[in-house]
Amino acid sequence: MPEIHADAIAQVILLAREVGEATAVGARDGVRHGGSGSLAARELRDFIANLNEEEQYSLVAVMWIGRDSFTADEYDEAYDTARLEATNPTEDYLVGIPMLADYLESGLEALGISPGDVEQGVI
């Protein structure tokens, strides 16, 4: 099971959605990379950067499961791969994934955790 509390993943999901919304608004307004420098993007980066290493590896593993790079049964392998392949800051890697929130939600679901229930607890 994940080495990170589901509430922390829910917070990342919410922040990633805010970044996506800021990017979409910027695109509609003709601003390139509207969300990359937004307050939401900085909050997302800071939140991920402040997680401990085990939580960061777990967050990446859950995202990979949601992206179908690994199955839920392969969580330990996904976690170990995230640990072994961590060469750049996790926040840089994850913030660059356009569907991060969706992948994390799918990963939670695959692990038997209801993302909706978790997100309600964070709001």
Domain that holds residue 103: 6-113
Q: Is the dihedral of CA 58, 67, 118, 45 positive or negative?
A: positive
Asked whether the whole model's pTM tops 0.75, one would answer yes
Whether residue 112 has pLDDT greater than 60? yes
Average pLDDT, the chain: 86
Q: What digits encode the pLDDT tens for the residues 2-37? A: 788 999 999 999 999 998 876 655 444 454 544 445
Averaged pLDDT for residues 40-46: 93
Residue 50: inside a domain, yes or no?
A: yes
Question: How large is the C-alpha radius of gyration of the chain?
Answer: 14
The pLDDT of residue 34: 44
Residue 122: inside a domain, yes or no?
A: no
Residue 58: inside a domain, yes or no?
A: yes
Residue 31: inside a domain, yes or no?
A: yes
Residue 33: inside a domain, yes or no?
A: yes
Averaged pLDDT for residues 63-67: 98
Residue 104: inside a domain, yes or no?
A: yes
Please tell me the total count of domains within the chain. 1
For 69-92, give one letter per residue: b (16+ CB within 10 A) or e: ebebeebeebbebbeeeeeeebbe
* Helix-helix angle 75-84:53-66, to 10 degrees: 120
Rounded CA-CA distance 63/67 in Å is 6
Averaged pLDDT for residues 49-77: 97
Residue 13: inside a domain, yes or no?
A: yes
